[in-house]
Amino acid sequence: DAGVIQSPRHEVTEMGQEVTLRCKLISGHNSLFWYRQTMMRGLELLIYFNNNVPIDDSGMPEDRFSAKMPNASFSTLKIQPSEPRDSAVYFCAGGGTINSNQPQHFGDGTRLSIL
Amino acid sequence: QKEVEQDPGPLSVPEGAIVSLNCTYSNSAFQYFMWYRQYSRKGPELLMYTYSSGNKEDGRFTAQVDKSSKYISLFIRDSQPSDSATYLCAMSAAYGGATNKLIFGTGTLLAVQP
């Protein structure tokens, strides 16, 4: 979706390394969601922001994961230190304001492999 | 038990067939129901969006919600090879577009054979 740009598209790194995933919202969105997708667990919500403020981070698996949204159009998801079980596709999605009719639009994901 | 259950498939049908995809759920507070389509190596894209019970039709696609049975369906008529993708159901307990959590099914892989 042209409205949500994720980078990098692919990341391969060794366990113990720091990984930073990036998400840029191109179109007008007021909320941002980070998801993780695996074959076993499907699509899981990690954290979401509304107007740059983290609203719910209960899906973040552990302290090794952190997310920031320094401005209205950009967010990072960081894993430090990374582990092989973190291997998955990570998606970012943009959404509208509270009670808007705007659905969530997903980026094309970052495919992360931790060796 | 997961909040949302979806048969992972794979489901293989010949071109032109009617396809039925289904999800069941356990949370009676869910009011908003969505179907997303995900092509290989792409992000999910919204296909259908319905509120509460009833039917919604959009071209070859029809979404049905039966809240009494906690069961939702997506029907695809005259299926095409281009419909081959993973179909994810999603639902939320309040308006799902912005600040509320979407709970996804694990997805059904559909292959339409030419």
Q: What is the rounded CA–CA span in Å between residue B47 and residue B38? A: 10
Question: Quick one: what percent of chain A has pLDDT higher than 90?
Answer: 66
> In a 3-state reduction of DSSP, which class is residue A84?
helix
- Looking at the complex, report in whole angstroms how far the Cα of residue A98 sits from the nearest Cα belonging to chain B: 6
- Looking at the complex, report in whole angstroms how far the Cα of residue A56 sits from the nearest Cα belonging to chain B: 9
Bond before A84 cis per omega within 30 degrees: no
Token pair of B71, please? 């069961």
Residue B74: pLDDT band by 50, 70, 90 thresholds? very high
The per-type count for chain B, helices as H runs and strands as E runs, is 0, 11
Torsion sign across C-alpha atoms A103, B103, B94, B63: positive
Token pair of A65, please? 């994961």
- Nearest residue of A to residue B39, measured between CA atoms: A108
Q: Mean pLDDT over residues B36-56, rounded?
A: 91
The pLDDT, as a whole number, for residue B100 is 63
Q: What is the rounded CA–CA span in Å between residue A72 and residue B49? A: 26
**Contact (CB<8Å) A107/B44:** no
Residue B99 has pLDDT above 60, yes or no: no
- Residues in B lying within 8 Å of A, measured between beta carbons: 34, 41-46, 49, 88, 95-99, 101-102, 104-107
The pLDDT, as a whole number, for residue A30 is 81
Cα A104 to Cα A12, A17, A107, B14: the distances in Å are 28, 31, 10, 32
Q: Which of B41, B43, B98 sits opposite A95 (nearest CB)?
A: B98
Torsion sign across C-alpha atoms B57, B63, B65, B66: positive
**Mean pLDDT computed over every residue of chain B:** 90
